[in-house]
Amino acid sequence: MKVAIPPPSILQLNKKVGDTSNELVRHFLIECTQKGVRLKGCPNEPYFGSLTALVYQHSITPLALPCKLLIPDQDPLDEISEASTQTSVNSAAELLKQGAACNVCYLNSVEMESLTGHQAVQKALTLTLVQEPPPTSTVVHFKVSSQGITLTDNQRKLFFRRHYPVSSVIFCALDPQDRKWIKDGLSAKVFGFVARKQGSATDNVCHLFAEHDPEQPASAVVNFVSKVMIGSPKN
């Protein structure tokens, strides 16, 4: 990456601008693991299922990079054909076809009437935290695809599989108050998505989840759902 200014550590060693001009190009290694690909040496970075997903996510939010990536609409050197430019990685629809999945802790589903947005996530968590007895979190497989969001309870503690069509999912966000879900002495970020109640055109339900694996952060799930699924044109 070419950055506007060198890192602070470089500036401290080289006070003159001329001495830092060759430090404007920074290198970031990508490591491949059984969990996926990620930026090496960056503990705050999640794992991604493909290089395409890694690049696209960093064009939405920089995460550990000094700035967001800019994805060109076509090859700068015009070395690729017109047909290949039409399938640019910049297309959210193409990324959505690949889908994304991770494990999260399912907490609760709360009916919201017509409420949506951050207020719905906030209210749903408030009601959940005072619920007696408190709900038991269950690890589920959370998959986002062009078909919508699919939850699979592999241990079948609460349900087997639930599917929310892409047309029904209208909002996704972290808890605006940044409250945490506490389990076994550990705290995890909470997020939720709002979907139309089945069979209703006006009533919504907010479905709440907590992070299960810190290497699969809630923020990455929210970004993917919000920017790629909800933000992409509905066919």
Span 26-55, pLDDT tens digits: 888 999 888 889 999 888 888 888 888 888
213 — pLDDT class (breaks 50, 70, 90): confident
The answer to whether the beta carbons of residues 228 and 93 sit under 8 Å apart is no
85 — pLDDT class (breaks 50, 70, 90): very low
Give dist(CA 118, CA 95) in Å, integer: 26
Give dist(CA 213, CA 79) in Å, integer: 41
The answer to whether the beta carbons of residues 128 and 135 sit under 8 Å apart is yes
**Which of 84-98, 142-156, 172-186 has the least mean pLDDT?**
84-98
- Of 33, 50, 34, 31, the closest CA to residue 42 belongs to 31
Output the pTM of the full model. 0.60
Domains and CATH numbers, the chain: 27-75 (3.30.505.10), 99-230 (2.30.29.30)
DSSP code at position 225: I
